[in-house]
A and B are shown apart, each in its own frame.
Chain A
Amino acid sequence: MQFQSIDWKRGIMLGAIAGIAWGWIAMAVNAATGAFEFENTLLHNLIAFAAGGAVFGIVVSGFLSLLKERLPFKNIFLKATLLSSVLWIMLKVGGTLLSSVEPERYHPITAQSIQGFVLAIIMGGLLGFLWKIKSKEA
């Protein structure tokens, strides 16, 4: 059962690392596109994006370690990208339902939605890259 331990630790660690990097990349992408004008300070966002990114990364990586044998594609990049995209779409669908229930509080913005989907693909690529490196080391 040793392999399970390696996967477990690797999933959490790689997810957190990829997520933190992704959070900061998301900040840079948004600064470049201007899809949303930041309202908080740079320091606040560096921490919030790292924390939020780590949470997203751990979830995607956790599902990747659980489902990697059952997912289509042989390439780990494609597996991770599929998972991160599907996860983002599920959250988006949930958000759309919330928008219909409470339109004053939740309303989608197209430019941010497109940016978010592209970022979800980037998350998959980052995670796939780290998994590939770690697989070669193991």
Chain B
Amino acid sequence: MVVIAYGVHDAFHDFRHTIGMPCH
């Protein structure tokens, strides 16, 4: 979960933004 939440980066990019995790 931590690996996904902080980015795998491209695969879960939209997911991370949607759930409000910091991303570039």
Contacts and interface: CB of A to CB of B under 8 A. Distances in A.
A38 B1 CA distance: 21
Contacts of B23: 106-107
Q: Which of A45, A52, A114 is most buried by chain B, counting CB atoms within 10 A of its CB?
A: A52
Interface string A85-127: 0001001101110110000111111001111110110000000
Interface residues of B, number: 18
Contacts of B1: 55-56, 59, 91
Contact of A40 (B5, B13, B19): B13
Given A91-B2, A91-B5, A98-B6, A104 B24 contact: yes
Interface of B: 1-2, 4-6, 11-15, 17-24
